[in-house]
Structure 1
């Protein structure tokens, strides 16, 4: 069966939604295949056709979300070789639209009830996006520290937004980020 088959995509989407709902109630380690199948209204054979264990579902879903995050991060840079903080249009920033799209997932990640393992997985993914950014200016700062600082700056904004129960719109968060970059970023070389 083709992985791009509409039936496969719908089944996997349903399993991802069910996993997200179950993660709101309990940690990943306590979710069993039987429970996931029952809630997703699929049989175990269907589950095992696509996955070996519940962890595989999480990894696949996490990977899809991180791919979307990466695309969202790169959006303001698609049409420019040089990033000028002073002239960035907040409407080109897409990170917060991504967060809003996957709000339930991020509510789980930033919940005080879940393992910090999720946070570090997200941190590592965001950091890896910055690793790929060849335009990041280091100014003599050790690369590892700059990458970690940058990843935590983005996560800090998202955590605070989460603490506000995601009440601000994604566009309002874009403006916040751009204002912070303009005020505290090094002119002409700060990156989102």
Structure 2
């Protein structure tokens, strides 16, 4: 019983510190935020902070770690219960990555308007790339280099995700899911040019 009370207290204090950091990041740069500001806003003391985190970077890593775990689970949703994942049969409602991001849009918005954006993007991309390499084995097709195809598809997916977040979630997640599936099935054979003769 004592351990469960302690665990809840730890979770509560860590959550308060994360929320305080994000609240401050919505108003100022991460680099200018002090630990004193974080603990004062969270209504804790510095001792509590240092019990959980070595520095503010470790606190930010905890925020990102939680988000990225959820991002990975959302990425895996279309194939986590099947042995053979057929991209050409994937339905829009099986895509969960946009739903996850939209459910945490306040946090993503803060991070994408902060001075730590390059690091955030790098961590998100690296996590999705690693998981897709570990989880999915693509059958070779003709002259396609699997490594290059993988790099192309991961950059395309995350580019779409980043564009959507940076655009302020202009479209609902359901629309983004539908569009992703349409894009995956789109095979252009020609394009009209606007070059003058």
Q: Check whether TM > 0.5.
A: yes
Task: List gaps (5 residues or longer) in structure 1.
Answer: 186-192
Task: Quote how far apart the aligned CAs of 1:77 are.
Answer: 0.7
CA–CA distance in 2 between the matches of 1:109 and 1:184?
34
> Greater shift after overlay, 132-141 or 7-16?
132-141
Name the TM-score, length of structure 1 as normaliser.
Answer: 0.83
Equivalent residue, structure 1, for 2:179: 176
How many residues in Structure 1 have an aligned counterpart in Structure 2? 184
Task: Quote how far apart the aligned CAs of 1:160 are.
Answer: 2.3
Larger-Rg structure: 2
1:141 paired to 2:145: yes
Task: Decide whether the 8 Å contact of 1:28 with 1:55 is kept in 2.
Answer: no
Change (3 A) 1:157 1:11: same
Task: Quote how far apart the aligned CAs of 1:66 are.
Answer: 0.9
Change (3 A) 1:67 1:141: same
Task: Decide whether the 8 Å contact of 2:70 with 2:100 is kept in 1.
Answer: yes
> Greater shift after overlay, 91-100 or 112-121?
112-121
Task: Quote how far apart the aligned CAs of 1:11 are.
Answer: 1.7
RMSD, aligned α-carbons = 2.5
Task: Quote how far apart the aligned CAs of 1:21 are.
Answer: 1.9
SS at match of 2:57: helix
